[in-house]
Amino acid sequence: MKSYDQIFLANRAWAQSLKSADKEYFQKMALGQTPKYFWIGCADSRVSETVVTKSQLGELFVHRNVANLVNENDTNLLASLRYAIDYLKVKHIVVAGHYSCGGVKAAYDGLEDPYITDWVSDIKSTLNANGKEIEAIEGDMNRIDRLAELSIMKQVDKLASMDLIKDAWARGQRLFIHGWIFDLSTGELNSLKEIHPDDMIQ
C-alpha cells in the first residue's frame, strides 16, 4: 500500500458517512453553492478554514496564499474576489491570518529567496511603517505576531480601497470586510478589525 492510499481510503469513508446520513447529500451539493463568506487565508497546513470554523461544504468560498496577502495585481485573487462579490453575492469578506506565520517571519527575518522575498514585500513595508511599535515589543516571536496583526488590518484597508468592493458598496450591496486572526496555541479565532457596509454605503 502506498503512503497516500490512506488519503483515498479516508475520502471514501467520509463520503460514505455523509451518504448514510443523507443519501442525496452529494447530488444536492452538486447543484450549486451559496456561500456567505469569502475567506482569504494563509496557505499554512494548520489553518484550514473549514476545520477551524467547523463549517460544512458550500459555506466558505476560499482563496489562500502565503501570509494571506491582498495584492492588487494578483489575478488569482481578483478573479476569486470578482466571482465572490458579483456572482455568488457573498456578504462577508474575511482576511484571516494567524500567529506563528512563516510568511510573516520570512519578511521579519529579511529572508532572501527568489521565490518568496518579493511576495512578502508588503509585510516588509508594514514592518518599516511600524518600526517603533514593533521594536518596543519584547522577543522576536511576539514581534512577528504583532506584525501579523498589523498586516491583516492593512489587507482589510486595501480591500476597502479596491474598485471591485467600492463599486459593490456604491450599488448598495451589504458587504462586510473583516480582519481575523487564528491562534494556533489555543485554537481560537479573534476579530481585529471590521468594516461595516452602513459606514460605506452613501
**Interface contacts to Zn ion, rule CB under 5 A:** 42, 44, 101, 103
CB of 181 to Zn ion, least distance (A): 11
Order across the sheet with 188-195: list the strands. 60-65, 37-42, 92-98, 176-183, 188-195
**42 flagged as catalytic:** yes
- Which one of the listed residues 63, 101, 122, 143 is annotated catalytic? 101
CB of 107 to Zn ion, least distance (A): 11
Cβ distance to Zn ion smaller for residue 42 or 107: 42
**44 flagged as catalytic:** yes
Residues 6+ apart with CB under 8 A from 146: 133, 134, 137
- Which one of the listed residues 5, 12, 22, 44 is annotated catalytic? 44
Residue 42 grid cell = 494563509
Return the closest-CA partner of residue 171 out of 130, 135, 201, 138.
201
Describe the chain by its helix, strand, coil percentages, rounded to 5: 45, 15, 35
Distance CA 15, CA 11 (A): 6
Indicate the residue type of 129.
Answer: A
- Which one of the listed residues 12, 74, 82, 98 is annotated catalytic? 98
Question: What phi and psi, each to the nearest 5 degrees, are found at residue 27?
Answer: -60, -40
Cβ distance to Zn ion smaller for residue 35 or 103: 103
CB of 31 to Zn ion, least distance (A): 34
- According to DSSP, residue 83 is labeled I
CB of 113 to Zn ion, least distance (A): 15
Cβ distance to Zn ion smaller for residue 156 or 175: 156
Cβ distance to Zn ion smaller for residue 169 or 193: 193
**64 flagged as catalytic:** no
- Which one of the listed residues 5, 12, 22, 46 is annotated catalytic? 46
**167 flagged as catalytic:** no
**113 flagged as catalytic:** no
Residues annotated as part of the active site: 42, 44, 46, 98, 101
